Amino acid sequence: MISLAGRDIMHAWGKFVFTGLGLGLLIGVTLSMAGIYRGMVDDARALLDNSGADLWVVQKDTLGPYAEPSSIYDDVWRSIRGIQGVIRTANVTYLTMQVRQGERDVRAMITGITAGDPGTPGWPPYLIAGRHITRSHYEAVVDIATGFRIGDRFQIRRNHYTVVGLTRRMVSSSGDPIIFIPLKDARDAQFLKDNDAILQQHRRTTETLAFKPAGVLDAVLASQNANSYVNALLVQVEPGYRIEETAETIRRWKRLTVHTRTQMEEILVGKLIATSAKQIGMFLVILSIVSSAIVAFIIYTLTLGKIREIAVLKLIGTRNRTIAGMIMQQAIALGSIGFVVGKISATLLMAPIFPKYVLLEPLDSIRGFIVVIVICVLSSIFAIRAALKVDPAEAIGG
């Protein structure tokens, strides 16, 4: 038996191809939306992976340092380093801000890293050009997505930094590229007041009678200008030690909150990007409904255009299932054309130009294809119902 659907498609291929193109662009947008969600999750995981930490020690009862503000004393590491199983610790600060890059602003996450060597928690795990930070001030390693190149200079607050190294896929959970600078510079950027504010505070403090006794004023002024906070302490646990047990020890003795990698992933994926994920989910549902409506309308219209032929087919003895099969096969063919166009457009057109990282996973494509086919099959039901209602007598005049 010849394929009636195939012959009809070949006969009106232009109609099918152009309809498939339109549907494909819609499917491309849908796949891109799924890719954006995957990208957000991947960004969150990249942030955790690249930090090189097994544990995040943060301010008590906070979800810091990424999902909530967190401040802990910068000398906490000394006591935690002594806990059994802890092999490495490193203070870290995070601050998201706009950085001027040439004529444009780049939103970046400024990460303050402690002095050390590659492999120190918080450090970029690899570079694609240049070198790591070797000086204690005014050097930076940046993600290539910032647009900076080796040797470029940029300003954060009142200090200028020189780009000495480039890295890739170092992003915050929001997808903002990371700029690594020395910890002290980063703390200044985050906590240090500007000169006017310092002068005004100095004047007020000096005029306060309570600080007049000898030595008190100097001590107060010194404490006001000193900054002894970081956002979190990254901890590496020695292989062979159970991470959860080490975390529990720190919680018990230091009265700080400690997040493991699993808990941190839950915070980032389950809480930080949950609203965005829901929005994308809603878009996916809406796009699926729109796609269904379009496929249903197209197949229904194509079927109505063949009512006379269907009546003739029924009159000459064609089974209903043959006619239903023809319509369903056409719907599936349309969906397949649409999916191929959508996959190509999402991969080659949409993902590269999208401002956020779009991760198109093969498994999502397979799921997407199955969903498209199911939608096409369901959408063809209206057309099949219309075709099966056609009276073969319509082929006979009168």
Which residues of this protein are in contact with another protein, per CB under 8 A? Answer: 1-2, 4, 7-8, 10-12, 308-309, 312-319, 322, 391-393, 395-398
Complex with another protein: residue 304 or 396, whichever CB lies closer: 396
Residue with tokens 């000394």: 78
- In the bound state with another protein, the residue whose beta carbon lies nearer, of 22 and 392, is 392
Least separation in angstroms between residue 334's CB and another protein is 15
CA pair distance 339, 376, nearest whole angstrom? 11
Q: Which is nearer to another protein, 316 or 353 (CB)?
A: 316
- Shortest distance in whole angstroms from residue 6 CB to another protein: 9
**Sequential DSSP letters for 185-225:** HHHHHHHPPPHHHHHHHHHHHHH-GGG-STTHHHHHHHHHH
For 12-68, give the DSSP string. Answer: THHHHHHHHHHHHHHHHHHHHHHHHHHHHHHHHHHHHHHHT-SEEEESTT--TTTSS
Contacts of 394 (CB under 8 A, 6+ apart): 307, 308, 311
Q: Which is nearer to another protein, 3 or 134 (CB)?
A: 3
The one-letter amino acid at 342: G
Closer residue to another protein in complex, CB, 14/398: 398
Least spacing, CB of residue 377 vs another protein, in Å = 22
Say which residue the tokens 């600060």 belong to: 93
258 and 57 Cβ atoms separated by less than 8 Å:
yes
Min CB(303)–another protein separation in Å = 13
Q: Least distance in Å: CB of 397 to another protein? A: 5
Which CB sits closer to another protein, 18 or 126?
A: 18
Per-residue CA distances from 103 to 137, 140, 147 (Å):
25, 20, 11
| Residue 341 near residue 28 (C-beta atoms within 8 A) | yes
Q: What burial letters (b/e) apply to 343-355, b meaning 16+ CB within 10 Å?
A: bebbbeebbeeee
Beta bridge partners of 171: 177
Q: Which is nearer to another protein, 277 or 388 (CB)?
A: 388
Name 349's Cβ contacts closer than 8 Å, sequence gap at least 6. 28
Nearer to another protein, 95 or 299 (CB): 299
The 10 Å Cβ neighbour count of residue 34 is 23
Token pair for 172: 């915050």
Residue nearer to another protein on the CB measure, 153 or 321: 321
Cβ-based nearer residue to another protein, 1 or 209: 1
Q: How far apart are CA 169 and CA 144, in angstroms?
A: 8
User: Is-contact 235 54, C-beta < 8 A?
Assistant: yes
Between 11 and 81, CB nearer to another protein: 11
Give the residue among 226, 257, 258, 234 at the shortest CA–CA distance from 91.
Answer: 234
Q: Interior CA angle at 223 toward 221 and 228, to 5°?
A: 150
Residue 269 C-beta: closest distance to another protein, Å: 51
CB of 293 to another protein, least distance (A): 26
Structural contact between residues 181 and 101, judged by C-beta atoms closer than 8 angstroms? no
